[in-house]
Amino acid sequence: MLQRPRILLLIPHLGGGGAEKVISLLAHGLPADKYEIHLGLVTQHDLDSAELSPRVTAYRLGAHRVRYAAARILRLIWRVKPAVVLSGIAHLNFLVLMLKPLLPRGTKLMIRQNSTASRSLAVDRLPVYTRFLYRSLYRHADRVICPTNAMAEDLATVAGIDEGLIAVLPNPLDHENIKAARTAQPRWNSPGPNLLAIGRLSREKGFDLLIEAMKSVSQKFPSARLMILGTGPEEATLKARCSELDLDRFVTFAGYEKMPYSYYPGTTLFVLPSRHEGMPNALLEAFSAGLPLVATPASGGIVELLQDHPQSWIIPEISSAALSTTLVQAIRQLLPLCPE
């Protein structure tokens, strides 16, 4: 009997953002009859076995931060001796690529790019040497995976690598649970319009822009409500801003939700207010479920996906004023009888 190739997937932890979710879905989706699947959770200390398929062998490395995990990752790779290692998020990619000379002979190293590199470099508060890491390390991967053509072209320019090294593979989706959510009971307590936004509460996700825009929306549509799913470093700041704008009764912070699809029934609009993105799973899931969508032009992939799609609105620029105008326009088209 031929031995199945061992695949080691690496992410910081379960229950994180879109990058972690992609790798988690991949771990569940890879056929167990073809591959022996291992999952390394770099910063995870505990693990609920119910979160993973019994076909996946998981390892909790328990590092305080990804940057301090080099020795633990190296020991894991030598223990598992996989045919392929797939790393799923940029800062972890850098570390694994630095370790490549120390890996067992013949180990193939694949990395997945989870953001639009040029926008991330321009907008995020990244170390000044990040561009150097892209250009010096990404060329040593055996394959680089991007979810869209626009991201692949951008990365080839930023990292100075040949596009032939890059494979474009769309993100996997949890179609079964998305489909099941369509028949669930609505979780909204208002007549609407009901706006749903999902993501990590960090600056690049633009929730501050959405809250600013919500002030105008609530004035025009007094029954409007915004539900935000997610946690992150900006949570306290965003909640304080809601209070300053007297929006507490219009905006709900529901925290991290493992199955965000349960909020789809009763949702009028899914909103993506990001300053920059790769190809966010939250948007793809809402798109797959058929929800009307309002999004910023946060990446070329988002524009490609939505520009000719009915009941989708792309904001002309990334600002709270433009977001407010587009939200009002979309609501009026979707709910022409909604009282103002």
Q: Which CATH number covers residue 63?
A: 3.40.50.2000
On whether both 213 and 328 belong to a single domain, the answer is: yes
At 51 the pLDDT is 62
At 339 the pLDDT is 63
The tokens for 265 are: 């029934």
Indicate if the alpha-carbon torsion angle 208, 212, 217, 222 is positive or negative: positive
On whether both 164 and 214 belong to a single domain, the answer is: no
> Using 50, 70 and 90 to split pLDDT, how confident is the model at 286?
very high
At 2 the pLDDT is 63
Q: How many angstroms separate the CA atoms of 243 and 240, rounded?
A: 5
Percent of the chain whose pLDDT exceeds 90: 58
Closest CA to 90 of 72, 111, 121, 60: 111
At 19 the pLDDT is 74
On whether both 200 and 323 belong to a single domain, the answer is: yes
Q: What is the mean pLDDT of residues 280-290?
A: 90
Answer whether the bond into residue 265 is a cis peptide, omega within 30°.
no
Q: What is the pTM of this model?
A: 0.84
The phi and psi torsions of 85 (rounded to 5 degrees) equal -110, 130
On whether both 11 and 84 belong to a single domain, the answer is: yes
Query: pLDDT tens digits for 24-72?
Result: 888 888 888 899 999 999 988 776 554 667 788 989 998 889 999 999 9
Q: What is the mean pLDDT of residues 231-245?
A: 95
Closest CA to 297 of 273, 280, 281, 321: 273
Residue 248 counted as domain residue: yes
Q: What is the mean pLDDT of residues 99-118?
A: 92
The tokens for 293 are: 């969508």
On whether both 191 and 272 belong to a single domain, the answer is: yes
> Which one is predicted more confidently, 125 or 155?
155
Neighbour tally for 317: CB within 10 Å? 10
Q: Domain end: 111, 137, 172, which one? A: 172
pLDDT of residue 258 exceeding 90, the answer is no
